[in-house]
Structure 1
Amino acid sequence: MTPGLNALIGLLTALYPAAVYFGLQYLQPRLIALALAATLLLRLTLVRADWSKPLLLAGLAYAGFAIWSNQAVALRFYPALVNAVMLAIFAASLLHPPSIVERLARLKQPDLPTQGVSYTRRVTQVWCGFFIVNGGIAAATALWSSFQIWSLYNGLIAYLLMGLLFAGEYWVRLRTLKPE
């Protein structure tokens, strides 16, 4: 997949909460779900990484349900589903190594030392914890909050929290895995 197209699809997916919030003012829920399905289908046809295919297939099944139900509330559970599938992928990689984070680290450093393998396993565990908490909040906002709160959390706050986790992990990595 070309980097530009990958970035565009990633941006469209990230903007999903905003699309739901603003789109429901003008469109039926099934049309928003159809746009999500089209985006996910395009990404599925272009993706090479096997680990991301379950996420995309789950998203397509979800979008199919949302199209069928044509209910606004059905659109709100996509972020919780993404967190649940990401949790399953990361947790499965802990049970069947190498972990997702180790695989990503080996793209940059194929001869990852034992200390690096242990560290990437721990980082994968931290991400599993993040997906549990973030997915729980995403589900809670889908069930019990207004569309404004749901959009704010899932369209902004969750991304800021992910960014903080990335930055915090990078900071810890620089101090933990210093070359000797």
Structure 2
Amino acid sequence: MTSSREVLDRIAQRLRQERQARGFSQAALAERSGVSLRMLALIEKAETNPSIATLAEIAAGLGISLGALVGSGDEAAARVIPPQDFATVWQSPAGSARLLASGGKAELWDWRIETGGRYDASPDPAGTMELIQVQEGVLVLEVDGATHAVPAGHALRLASDRAYAYRAEGGPVRFVKVVS
């Protein structure tokens, strides 16, 4: 499994490469993404652990997917991705999120929310869609003032360009999702 340090170093390197390839200064990217100049500088030096929402804002400012920013950048026609290359992008006592694979404009994620845990998400870029399949437990989704309980074996579609939250009640929840 990839360590947190390796993920931070990879993100720092990819951010710098993508920013420079577009001819953006850190200040220009800060303006385009809405992420502070100080935060961008810390991320490029791998001195902070940014949230998924912050990384999504930076990726949108660069005009790339979150997966392109945190992934390996390998664009081969086919690539087997071993578990040690999965990137744990969020981890706390409430749960974890691992980016398993990305390509084009799609990302494949594996999530776990612990009993009583919650993840509050900021809106993704306009038009972003999530397809989720619950593998164990009951995922409780809060979006647009409504609550949806999604049991194991069920799937859901979420327009994630708005604030939403995942939570687990009555036991841990594990789900996979594709973000596009």
- Relative contact order, CA 8 A, sep 6+: which one is greater? 1
How does the TM-score come out when normalised to structure 1?
0.28
Q: Which has the larger share of strand?
A: 2
How does the TM-score come out when normalised to structure 2?
0.28
Larger Rg: 1
Q: Which has the larger share of helix?
A: 1
